[in-house]
Amino acid sequence: MVFRKLPGVSASGMGLRLSQKFVFLLFLSGLVTLCFGALFFLPDSVRLKRIFLSKTDTQPVTVGSGSGSENDAKEHLKRPKDQEHLRGITSAKGETSTKLKTLSRKPSVSHEATEERLAGGKAQEELTLPRSKPEPAPERVTSSIHGVNSDTFNYNKFKRCLLRAPLGREHGKPSDPRTEERRDKVKEMMKFAWDNYKRYAWGKNELRPLTRNGHIGNMFGGLRGASIIDSLDTLYIMGLTEEYNDAKEWVQTSLDLNSNGEASLFEVNIRYVGGLLSAYYLTGEELYKRRAVELGEKLLPAFNTPTGIPRGVINLGSSGTSWSWGWASAGSSILAEFGTLHLEFVHLTELSGNPIYTEKVMNIRKLLNKIEKPHGLYPNFLSPVSGNWVQHHVSIGGLGDSFYEYLIKSYLMSDKTDEDAKKMYYSALEAIEANLVQKSPGGLTYMAEWRGGILDHKMGHLACFSGGMVGIGADDGAPEKRQHYLDLAAEITHTCHESYTRSATKLGPEAFRFDGGAEATATRLSDRYYILRPEVIESYMYMWRLTHDPKYREWGWEAVEALEQHCRVDSGFSGIRDVYATAVGHDNMQQSFFLSETLKYLYLLFSDDDLLPLEDWVFNTEAHPLPVVRKSCLQDGGTQDKTVSE
């Protein structure tokens, strides 16, 4: 190529080299500008990492430190399974929580205004959830807890570890035709109650049978279908197949756990979590297991307190905030509530493989073992901030009841390996006998309440579960005291039966007294109602199983006749306002626990003992059967001496 010479430029080519350098520098400058501009407009570095790094190279996102259960849950997600898989009840750790049936085993809608009204979560009127100071929840875990190790539980292995088939040889059919006829009547009552719920209140929490509509209430934080969840196991064991399938389909298609409401921790646990767990263990349907663990995860933020004692009210939504009942003294938590979580939470750990649930309830037990107990008794109010008792009010009825129930049942459910629960139960029972058990002038044994050293000679309907409780624990105390405990159980059950027989309707009042010349009788107008409660019938069932004394079946039949005569209305069953009135006034509420407990215990009372045998099953405080955890059998692959088959 021939280059033309430029005028005034020497042939040496110096001018040409300078222009080449200028062009090169101009090009380089543009390139640099382009690169910086591209970086400016690119996404952030985290996105760049996703482009250039594989998933295994990325670092996990961590959440700041905090005391909340959600952070604990994240920690467990990162721990090796062989180090942290605690599954089940371990002795020498801690215990539990309760049947409020909102603030105790079964809500006491009480005469003592706010205090007993929520005690037990079974109020006949709609409960309110007043706040004390809300406890902020830590940031929610983004990865779902309920997916962790969910494949570690083997249902077939579990069934091989049962001593007998859950439904018995012939679904518990009694050999006596008269007893079978009575059992069939109870089954008909269940179908009648269910059919009317389905017709007039389907998907709502409870049926209002007089007005033929549904009731939602505010105990469950926006959850729906309490009567459906509470009925699953009852329908199944009664062989009401079509009705059970309808309930199952509703759980599959309509049970929405993504509520953002404010719920009773106690009530959601015993009814929803307990009902789903029981349905899973009886049927093997994975749906129930998934939903139970998913709901259990939503309850964990309630434990986000300085002591780990959960607050009574929890927001089930994304905020996860919790607070104490506004009526509870000094923002305290209730013994029957935080003491009635143990059975369900241990099984949540069993099914999920996540030890956090067991650790939460063991922490409660650990704290209770540390603090001083007046005269060996457990008061009903405890501060979740300081860990100290707030008031010295002790009751085996509302506010306290199911705490004691869960101690002995934790021991039994652990295949009698949880020695700590056993020790706590018998120590508490000794203190109760020494301070609360009384004998009336007429020879009736009852459990009084203790208010700072002063006895209140009142016994609530809720406390009548204690006959059965003392009975099932009789074999495991000191051998020389076995008959003593059976006698005590029989005496308490007899007293509660007397509270029924001394009323015009043959149904028992909410509370009855032993002072001012009265015995086993309600002396206050505010104590005279009956809201379809199961506790007396519950003790009949246990005492029948333990003694086979025919009087318990006769007493149960008396209750059936009274329910039919006074509580059955055109469209369901309703509680009554005054058990002493011959002209009955109804409260227009078919409680979900009537389907879960009252009718189930009556059905079991008139069934053979091999229907849900007590060697294999414990009943939570809502009467949902949960299996005994035989860890050695499960670890060995399910090799009991006896195997079962449906």
Residue 187 three-state SS: helix
**Any idea what DSSP says for residue 79?**
S
Joined tokens for residue 501: 């027989």
Could you give the CA distance from residue 492 to residue 397 in angstroms, rounded to a whole number? 13
Sequence-ordered list of residues with C-beta below 8 angstroms from that of 557, at least 6 positions apart, any chain: 182
Name the strands in the sheet holding 333-334, side by side, starting at the edge strand that comes first in the sequence: 333-334, 381-382, 389-391
Sequence-ordered list of residues with C-beta below 8 angstroms from that of 315, at least 6 positions apart, any chain: 137, 221, 260, 261, 262, 263, 321, 322
Residue 571 three-state SS: coil
Could you give the CA distance from residue 294 to residue 147 in angstroms, rounded to a whole number? 8
Could you give the CA distance from residue 364 to residue 338 in angstroms, rounded to a whole number? 8
Give whole-number Cα distances, 343 to 40, 97, 504, in Å.
57, 9, 38
8 Å CB contact between 118 and 107: yes
CA 100 to chain centre: 10
Tell me which of 510, 538, 597, 622 is the catalytic residue: 510
Sequence-ordered list of residues with C-beta below 8 angstroms from that of 454, at least 6 positions apart, any chain: none
Sequence-ordered list of residues with C-beta below 8 angstroms from that of 433, at least 6 positions apart, any chain: 488
Joined tokens for residue 574: 């309703």
8 Å CB contact between 643 and 203: no
8 Å CB contact between 394 and 436: yes
Could you give the CA distance from residue 63 to residue 65 in angstroms, rounded to a whole number? 6
Q: Identify whether 510 is a catalytic site residue.
A: yes
| 173-176: long-range pairs with CB below 8 Å, 24+ | 173/607, 173/608, 174/606, 174/607, 174/608, 175/608
Would you call 37 exposed, middle or buried from its count of C-beta atoms within 10 A (0-12, 13-18, 19+)? exposed
C-beta neighbour count of 147 within 10 angstroms: 15
- Strand segments, DSSP code E, in 485-643 are 511-513, 568-569, 572-573, 617-619, 625-627
Sequence-ordered list of residues with C-beta below 8 angstroms from that of 82, at least 6 positions apart, any chain: none
Could you give the CA distance from residue 549 to residue 487 in angstroms, rounded to a whole number? 13
Could you give the CA distance from residue 529 to residue 541 in angstroms, rounded to a whole number? 23
Element (H, E) at 281: helix 274-283
Q: Return the C-alpha torsion angle 381, 386, 388, 394, nearest 10.
A: 0
8 Å CB contact between 446 and 440: yes
Residue at token pair 């009552």: 189
Could you give the CA distance from residue 118 to residue 332 in angstroms, rounded to a whole number? 14
Joined tokens for residue 75: 């920690």
CA-based R_g, the chain, Å: 31
Joined tokens for residue 447: 């459990």
Sign (positive or negative) of CA dihedral 337, 342, 348, 353: positive
Could you give the CA distance from residue 600 to residue 622 in angstroms, rounded to a whole number? 10
Residues annotated catalytic, as ranges? 510
